[in-house]
Amino acid sequence: MKAQSPNDKSYGGHLWLNRTRNEGRDQVLFPGKAPSDVFAALGHLGQFVVVSPQHRLTIVRLGNTPDDQLDPVNDQLAKLISVFPK
């Protein structure tokens, strides 16, 4: 599930990978702000499950935020992962 899709290196088998997307596509996760081994299942209106294996961390959000307002949520999530001890 964590192997890159040949068409989009930030997408695996129904999971988003914390890698830079192919040119011309909007960024989904947060490469450069959190480890590259982070992966996530993203749902509707800001619901997600994000896993950072090296931190032994899983974050679940059952939120309700319009998609066009999720950038601040994603920024805080990246910060949370980066300060969590390895």
Residue 63 domain boundaries: 16-83
Instruction: Check pLDDT > 90 for residue 39.
Output: yes
Half-sphere exposure of 52 (CA within 13 A, CB side): 22
Residue 56 lies inside a defined structural domain of this protein = yes
Residue 7 lies inside a defined structural domain of this protein = no
Residue 11 lies inside a defined structural domain of this protein = no
Residue 65 lies inside a defined structural domain of this protein = yes
- Taking residues 4-12, what's their average pLDDT? 92
Residue 69 lies inside a defined structural domain of this protein = yes
Q: Are 61 and 81 in contact (CB under 8 A)?
A: no
How would residue 8 be classed by pLDDT, with cut points 50, 70 and 90?
very high
What does the pLDDT read at residue 56? 93
Give phi and psi for 52, each to the nearest 5.
-120, 95
What does the pLDDT read at residue 68? 86
Residue 45 lies inside a defined structural domain of this protein = yes
Q: What percent of the chain has pLDDT over 70?
A: 100
Residue 43 lies inside a defined structural domain of this protein = yes
The tally of domains found in the chain comes to 1
> What pTM does this model have?
0.87
| pLDDT tens track for 59-73 | 999 989 998 898 899
